[in-house]
Amino acid sequence: MTKNQKLNQWVAEWTAICQPDRVHWCDGSEEENQQILDSMVASGMAVKLNEEKRPNSYYFQSDPSDVARVENRTFICSKKEEDAGPTNHWEDPVKMKEILLQKYTGCMKGRTMYVMPFSMGPLGSKIAHIGVQITDSPYVVVNMRIMTRMGSKVLDVLGDGDFVPCIHSVGAPLKPGQKDVKWPCAPIEEKFITHFPETHEIWSYGSGYGGNALLGKKCFALRIATVMAREQGWLAEHMLILGLTNPKGEKKYVAAAFPSACGKTNLAMLVPTIPGWKVECVGDDIAWMKFGADGRLYAINPEAGFFGVAPYTSMQTNPNALLSCRANTIFTNVGLTPDGDIWWEGIGTDCPAGTINWKNQVHDPASGEVCAHPNSRFTAPAYQCPAIDKDWENPAGVPISAILFGGRRPSTVPLIHEAMSWNHGVFMGSIVSSETTAAVIGQVGIVRRDPFAMLPFCGYNMGDYFGHWISIGKNAPDPTKLPKVFYVNWFRKENGKFLWPGYGDNSRVLAYIFDRCDGKGETVDTVIGKVPAPSAINIEGLKDMTPEKMAKVLNVDKEEWKKEIALIDEHYARFGSHLPKELAAELQGFKQRLGI
Ligand code: OXD
Ligand code: MN
């Protein structure tokens, strides 16, 4: 119980509906966490990893039907369908609540209902917001404790203030005496990840995995936060935040939006290959940005941990991520080695004989099957990242100098180009496209438009969201202090091979961006914006890179872009009258530059 009457009442109401055997208010302490972990080990849900190799770390395998976000079971339940827009699944809020209330009735029988107060963002920050999640999943509790600031201290900050109510159940009540399964959840067609934007509520049912169940992340910090941000004049974005220091010791912060599993975590904590440069990580997935008193846009990372994709994370690709999960980490759906450690494809070592795969069978490397699920994850505390920025918990946030958009595009899109204005930058964000990956259930390798990398994460009509971005530019206290906008593509290919080495060498592109923010760095005007002059990106010491190859990496082919226009027309047509006139004008200008 707390002093907050609304919270007490809300918990009492949901206790009556869900009928748990017990209610536990989480204090967020070490002892509580250990008790929950011990009970999961005792029930067979968790495996404690080898204390010498991976101190205080735990291993989980999910149900094979519950391995990623389920976009076709994710709903925005605004009163009017039009307000959810063409990119979201919509359902009437009254009807959805009726369906779900039936499901929630008695759904926690035989289980404990945990009540978790949590803060998205440093406690007490003006940019932060508080939520309270109830859940019947102890796995969710231990993950939320890493991913958010969770526990009694949040109640102190909350006082009698407002919170975002988040309801979660795995949807698997137990009959008296019924033995629990290792990963309880409901069948896929009974999973519901629902959002009520008008009342800022989240109701999730049937899944225990990632963004479906850790409701602070995608549901709150993106879908509901986009709604709050629009109401209050700020930005809630699917962006990493990094600090970039040049050899003179000068520092700038960059925010970057890429669709899921496009290497955001890798970029957020990369180790530069160019001497004297340093990258430090503020966040790897979400940024909340508000204007500061000086007129600049300031960003916080609302999260406190990394929920990173494990496969292909190695000491070569992302040493800082691997070191972040050296202890105190939860691993889900990776391989489990005979000596009680973890393994995944691309970790940089051979798979030890006898390793158990994510389906709990001995892995046979000759079988052609993967050992770790492609969307297997580590949940690691952000403070454990060796490259964590000293200001990552600064309640005031960090000032953003540049915003990057990007995706996985084997053709057409050059390594980097720069917007000609704020509205042109919004246009770039609105046409982000990428090949799909394993972070979401569905076909992999299809190019889809993913505006602002927010396609599955915008809590209202995406056309209105574009309009909100335009209005941020219009209402900026000082337009000259707005971040510069760039579009990057690390994934351009020739004959099936990547043209650009990526990973740490992306620091070469970051260094160019740093210079551009200072008005330096030579550019060439093209139909899509400013592209670096042939020698503006430092390729010194880059094996296999030649000026000819670099020209291909940076090439802007008008014919390819003319083909892209048809796709953009089709994409924009979806938004009808919700498409801001400023973006229609940007598209028109682009067509004119292309001569069509
Ligand atoms: C994530 C995602 O898990 O974007 O971060 O899917
Ligand atoms: Mn993400």
CA atoms within 13 A of residue 270's CA, in its CB half-sphere = 24
Looking at residue 57, its amino acid is S
Q: Can you give the pLDDT at residue 440?
A: 60
Interatomic CA distance for residues 538 and 524, integer angstroms: 16
Q: Can you give the pLDDT at residue 507?
A: 98
Sign for the pseudo-dihedral over CA of 437, 443, 445, 448: negative
Testing ligand 1's pocket by substitution, the residue of 70, 212, 307 carrying the most ligand atoms inside 8 A of its CB is: 307
CB 84 within 8 A of CB 461: yes
Neighbours of 173 (CB within 10 A): 19
CB 203 within 8 A of CB 135: no
Question: Please, what are the domains in the chain?
Answer: 5-45+69-232 (3.40.449.10), 236-303+389-594 (3.90.228.20), 306-384 (2.170.8.10)
The neighbourhood of ligand 2, an ion, using CB within 5 A, equals 260, 285
Interatomic CA distance for residues 343 and 128, integer angstroms: 36
Query: pLDDT class for 576, splitting at 50, 70, 90?
Result: very high
pLDDT over 80 at 30, yes or no: yes
pLDDT over 80 at 335, yes or no: yes
Mean pLDDT of 322-340: 98
Residue bearing tokens 């080495």: 501
List active site positions. Answer: 262
CB of 305 closer than 6 angstroms to any ligand 1 atom: no
Interatomic CA distance for residues 128 and 304, integer angstroms: 12
Question: What rounded mean pLDDT belongs to the chain?
Answer: 96
Q: Are strands 377-381 and 305-309 parallel, antiparallel or unpaired?
A: antiparallel
pLDDT over 90 at 442, yes or no: no
Buried b (16+ CB within 10 A) or exposed e, 310-332: bbbbbeebbbbbbbbbebbbbbb
Mean pLDDT of 465-489: 98
Q: Are strands 89-90 and 74-76 parallel, antiparallel or unpaired?
A: parallel
Query: pLDDT class for 443, splitting at 50, 70, 90?
Result: low
Q: pLDDT tens digit string along 120-134?
A: 999 989 999 999 999
pLDDT over 90 at 438, yes or no: no
Sign for the pseudo-dihedral over CA of 273, 405, 382, 136: negative
pLDDT over 90 at 441, yes or no: no
Q: Are strands 497-498 and 493-494 parallel, antiparallel or unpaired?
A: antiparallel
* Residue closest by Cα to atom 4 of ligand 1: 260
CB 24 within 8 A of CB 137: no
Q: Can you give the pLDDT at residue 399?
A: 98
Q: Can you give the pLDDT at residue 263?
A: 87
DSSP state of 230: H
* Residue closest by Cα to atom 2 of ligand 1: 260
pLDDT over 80 at 496, yes or no: yes
Q: pLDDT tens digit string along 234-267?
A: 999 999 999 999 999 999 999 999 998 788 999 9
pLDDT over 70 at 466, yes or no: yes
Instruction: Classify 140 as helix, strand or coil.
Output: helix
pTM, to two decimals? 0.96
CB 321 within 8 A of CB 269: yes
pLDDT over 70 at 112, yes or no: yes
Q: 454: CA distance to ligand 2 center in Å?
A: 9
Selection from 358, 28, 70 nearest residue 210 by Cα: 70
pLDDT over 70 at 444, yes or no: no
Q: 309: CA distance to ligand 1 center in Å?
A: 8
Q: Can you give the pLDDT at residue 543?
A: 87
Residue 391: partners with Cβ closer than 8 Å, 6 or more residues away = 243, 282, 398
Q: Can you give the pLDDT at residue 261?
A: 74
CA 115 to each of CA 11, 131, 152, 164, 311: distance values in angstroms, whole numbers, following the listed order: 8, 11, 10, 13, 32
Q: Chain-centre distance of CA 95, in angstroms? A: 29
CB of 379 closer than 6 angstroms to any ligand 1 atom: no
Query: pLDDT class for 437, splitting at 50, 70, 90?
Result: low
Q: Can you give the pLDDT at residue 188?
A: 94
Which residues, in sequence order, are bridge partners of residue 524?
Answer: 531
CB of 439 closer than 6 angstroms to any ligand 1 atom: yes
pLDDT over 80 at 445, yes or no: no
CB of 207 closer than 6 angstroms to any ligand 1 atom: no
pLDDT over 80 at 1, yes or no: no
Q: 183: CA distance to ligand 1 center in Å?
A: 21
CB of 211 closer than 6 angstroms to any ligand 1 atom: yes
Q: Can you give the pLDDT at residue 339?
A: 98
Question: Which of 96-110, 243-257, 539-553 comes out lowest in average pLDDT?
Answer: 539-553
Testing ligand 1's pocket by substitution, the residue of 71, 74, 143, 260 carrying the most ligand atoms inside 8 A of its CB is: 260
Q: Of all atoms in ligand 1, which is nearest to the CA of residue 440?
A: 6
